[in-house]
Every structure is written in C-alpha cells, then in structure tokens.
C-alpha cells in the first residue's frame, strides 16, 4: 500500500486502471478488486481538477496527528498550509475556502480537535462550513482556526 500512497501523491491518477498500470510498471500486478479494497482502506477520495478531470487524493490523517488534535495540540501540515485560501464569517458560521481537494482533510482535523467553540463542520471539495457556538466571537474563532490554517490574526479577513 505504501507504493500506492507514493504513486497517488506524486502523480495525477484519475482511474483504478491507470493506477494498476503504474503499479504493474513497477512490478506489482494487482486485481481490480484488490486495488479497490486498498483504495478504500487508504480512504482515498476522487476530486475534480482545474482541467475538468478527476484525480485520487489521500487524506492527511494519521493516528499520531489525530491524537495530537484531540488533545488540543496544534498540527498544521504543509498540505493544509498550501491549500488554505480564505476565512469569512456569516453570523455564527465560519466559511473556510481551500484549494480543490483540501477541505475534507482540514475539516477532519478541525473536528478531531474537539474544540468546544466549534459545534461541527461540513465540507465539500474546496469549502468548509464550521458552525460556531453562539457566544463565540469572530476574533475568538480566528484564534482557534489559527491552529489549523495560516491566518494572520490582525490581517484583513472578511467578516
């Protein structure tokens, strides 16, 4: 499975057939059923590219990172830093925009942090809606989100 992870991270792979060909070129012949099972175990996701194609991505969660997040320790990974686009607020909802394919991993990290000020998240491919507790100010929310995304707390982030 490590080779599958490496191939997905280094290539724009849009189908199981394409991935099977890359594995075979490296001496690993696999059946479609095995490949399908491995992709499910790795929790891969298919996202649309800017070119209108699709590609597999692998979420950035692992047990150590999950443990750190659930204990309230900061864990900004490079993929989240690169993927962050903007943070805006509408009432008690925070809207985080990311590059395509980065939202679900970031939402997962936010949810795993079990931060009581954030009631929950809903993510798409490039957008996260995070519901804030009623008494949480936008400034408090910025401080919380700064653990996950590279925002300057005094920079002009839209309200």
pLDDT digits (tens, 9 = 90+) for 68-77: 444 444 444 4
What pTM value is reported for the model?
0.52
What is the percent of the chain with per-residue pLDDT over 70, rounded to a whole number? 77
Q: Which pLDDT band holds residue 130 (cuts at 50, 70, 90)?
A: very high
d(CA 76, CA 60): 11
Reply yes or no on whether the pLDDT at 125 is more than 80: yes
Runs of H (alpha helix) within the chain: 2-10, 16-25, 32-41, 63-70, 78-83, 103-112, 138-145
pLDDT at 81: 45
Token pair 């980065």 in the structure block, residue = 102
Domains of the chain: residue spans and CATH:
2-57 (1.10.10.10), 63-145 (3.30.1360.40)
């Amino acid at each position: 499975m490590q080779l599958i992870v490496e191939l997905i991270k280094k290539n724009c792979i849009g189908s199981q057939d394409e991935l099977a060909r890359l594995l075979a070129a490296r001496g690993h012949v696999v059946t479609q059923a095995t490949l399908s099972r491995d992709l499910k175990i790795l929790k891969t996701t298919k996202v649309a590219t800017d070119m209108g194609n699709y590609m597999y991505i692998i979420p950035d969660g692992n047990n150590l990172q999950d443990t750190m997040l659930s204990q309230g320790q900061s864990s900004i990974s490079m993929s989240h830093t690169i993927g962050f686009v903007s943070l805006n607020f509408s009432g008690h909802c925070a809207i985080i925009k990311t590059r395509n394919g980065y939202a679900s991993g970031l939402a997962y990290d936010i949810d795993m942090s079990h931060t009581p000020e954030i009631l929950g998240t809903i993510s798409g491919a490039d957008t996260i809606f995070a519901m804030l507790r009623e008494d949480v100010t936008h400034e408090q929310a910025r401080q919380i989100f700064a653990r996950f995304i590279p925002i300057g707390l005094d920079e002009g982030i839209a309200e």
